[in-house]
Structure 1
Amino acid sequence: MYFITFREAKRLLLSKATRVNLDLRKTNRTWEIAREGDEFIFPDGTRVSKALIERIARDENSVYFIKNGVYKAAIAGEHFYKLVPTIPPTIEINGIRMHRTKGTNPLHDTKSKVNAVKPKEGETILDTCMGLGYTAIEAAKRGAYVITIEKDPNVIELAKINPWSRELFTGGRIQVIQGDAFEVVKKFNDETFDAIIHDPPRFSLAGQLYSEEFYRELFRILKPGGRLFHYVGNPGKKYRRKDLQRGVMERLRRAGFVGVKRVEEALGVVARKSEKRK
């Protein structure tokens, strides 16, 4: 499977034969694309018309993949899902991007969240809301074993397409569970995880994942001394003077967490479970 965005399409239109990257810049590798008349010939033999390449060159908000034809990396159902050609790609659901991209990129966004709990070699980490899996992959790269949960099968399908998500399914240190995190966490044993990274959809879409009831479950499954990072963002703060982080922090404390404080660079909150008394 090969990938093309507006960047590569524009390059193809500049020359009769050229080399371009076809893995969404996951690597620096390039592939040669031949041209015959008004057709471009991709490495698998797929012929793509100049008119279609011109159309892709004008579409700066989509990712296309080539596999015996040209397809948009998108899924239409109850919601509309698609990969967006940031580097690495983010996922967009009904026009809402799942990573911060203004002034940053999904990889830096991910690292800021993972750095908040500093996974260590041999630890077991829970990633409550997988998305494209960048958080789970980053934690696994640091030597942790990761369990990650994703509710939406359409998101999992886009992750399977996305080359930047490949380690989710091939790395051997990550277990993917399809299900609702609110229900899945109830099945874990007490004191299972060394750290939890909780990066839920916005409050309006998944309010139960911001509830004291859910936080009590996270507290239960954390080991003594375990760390939590909770991405909150700041929706409504600028214009409506709402402080969602403050409410989150209050509920975390009621659930038993200590050391609850804001992490401004990651737009979230950290907390921990106290060590057991001797």
Structure 2
Amino acid sequence: MEEPYLLTAREARILLLSKAGARVNLDLRKTNRSWLVTMRNGEFIFPDGTRVSRETLERIAGDEGSVYLVRNGVYKAAIAGEHFYKLVPTIPPTIEINGIRMHRTKGTNPLEDTRNKVNAIKPGEGETVLDTCMGLGYTAIEAAKRGAYVITVEKDPNVIALARVNPWGRELFRGGKVQVVQGDVYEIVKRFGDGSFDAVIHDPPRFSLAGQLYSESFYRELYRILKPGGRLFHYVGNPGKRYRKKDLQKGVMERLRKVGFTGIKRVEEALGVIARKPEKKK
């Protein structure tokens, strides 16, 4: 299947202002490349021959919060199922599930947010990393760029479907140093042998949606699969802290300590905590 062109309100407005078509970026600014969209009989013709009416472009131009796919038709990059999922045209894109963004975008962007998380454990050349909750895959891609071999797990097939059409995440599906596993990481982690990973990046959904991924039993599994000296970064965020004086990070740190992690401390810039499995005693 050929990859679709990606269209946002920005490109739609450029085309609507043109007299005979224009060159626009159609990969959510992953590259500086531009594609020629021509006009004929009042319709806009994309490079694959897809014809898009002015009325459709006007609708897209007014929708700042969505991404549209163009390939033999025009479709919103969204999926309605048990939840409502859509790509959001931040650069790089984030994903919304029921209106909740899966990356920090206020005062930062998904790429900077990802780098802060990966910097917390500094994966190195030849190391093996578990990325527990893939999302759009930026964490796995960033760790692989630093030389690590990454296994990334995603429970939701709808999230994987949107990751596949996102130009910023296509490295996930091209082989190389990233292996994508679909399934519930709470169960999948039990399949890994003791000491399988040099590092774990744990960036779960919020506690109210996936409380089991903040449990002592899950942390015990993460401890088991890490090599002695292995590092853990756990994104926690600060939900509730501002309004209810609730410190979720403190509870996470206490449970990590209980299962055996040491060197546990907060990483403010990444809104999470780091911890280490002790080295073997000589």
- TM-score range relative to shorter protein: over 0.9
- TM-score, structure 2 length as denominator? 0.98
Pair 1:252-2:264 in alignment: no
Q: CA deviation at 1:62?
A: 0.5
Pair 1:59-2:63 in alignment: yes
Q: 2:241 aligns with which of 237, 243, 250?
A: 237
In structure 2, what is the equivalent of residue 214 of structure 1?
Answer: 218
Cα deviations by residue, 1:203-261 (Å, 9 ceiling, x for unpaired): 00000000011000000000000000000000011111110000000000001000000
C-alpha distance in 2 between matches for 1:6 and 1:243: 39
Q: CA deviation at 1:38?
A: 2.2
Cα deviations by residue, 1:104-124 (Å, 9 ceiling, x for unpaired): 110001000000000000000
In structure 2, what is the equivalent of residue 131 of structure 1?
Answer: 135
Q: SS in structure 2 opposite 1:13?
A: helix
Q: CA deviation at 1:171?
A: 4.0
Quote the RMSD (CA, aligned, Å).
0.7
Amino acid at match of 2:15: L
In structure 1, what is the equivalent of residue 100 of structure 2?
Answer: 96
Q: 2:120 aligns with which of 116, 122, 132?
A: 116
Cα deviations by residue, 1:117-161 (Å, 9 ceiling, x for unpaired): 000000000000000100000000111000010000111111111
In structure 2, what is the equivalent of residue 86 of structure 1?
Answer: 90
Amino acid at match of 1:149: V
C-alpha distance in 1 between matches for 2:183 and 2:45: 41
- Runs of 4+ aligned structure 1 residues displaced above 4 Å come to none
C-alpha distance in 2 between matches for 1:262 and 1:38: 57
C-alpha distance in 1 between matches for 2:235 and 2:26: 32
Q: SS in structure 2 opposite 1:120?
A: coil
Pair 1:266-2:256 in alignment: no
Q: SS in structure 2 opposite 1:9?
A: helix
Q: CA deviation at 1:168?
A: 0.4
Cα deviations by residue, 1:175-202 (Å, 9 ceiling, x for unpaired): 1111111100011000000000000000
- TM-score, structure 1 length as denominator? 0.99
C-alpha distance in 1 between matches for 2:42 and 2:255: 61
Q: SS in structure 1 opposite 2:279?
A: coil
In structure 1, what is the equivalent of residue 51 of structure 2?
Answer: 47
Pair 1:75-2:76 in alignment: no
The range that moved more, 165-174 or 181-190, is 165-174
The unaligned stretches of length 5 or more in structure 1 are: none
The unaligned stretches of length 5 or more in structure 2 are: none
Q: SS in structure 1 opposite 2:179?
A: strand
Query: Between Structure 1 and Structure 2, how many residues are aligned?
Result: 278
Q: CA deviation at 1:13?
A: 1.3
Pair 1:223-2:227 in alignment: yes
Q: SS in structure 2 opposite 1:166?
A: helix
Pair 1:3-2:16 in alignment: no
Q: CA deviation at 1:35?
A: 1.2
Q: 2:15 aligns with which of 3, 12, 16?
A: 12
In structure 2, what is the equivalent of residue 176 of structure 1?
Answer: 180
Q: CA deviation at 1:37?
A: 3.6
Q: SS in structure 2 opposite 1:111?
A: helix
C-alpha distance in 1 between matches for 2:189 and 2:176: 22
Percent of residue pairs bearing the same amino acid type: 78
C-alpha distance in 2 between matches for 1:14 and 1:237: 47
Q: SS in structure 1 opposite 2:213?
A: helix
C-alpha distance in 2 between matches for 1:101 and 1:64: 20
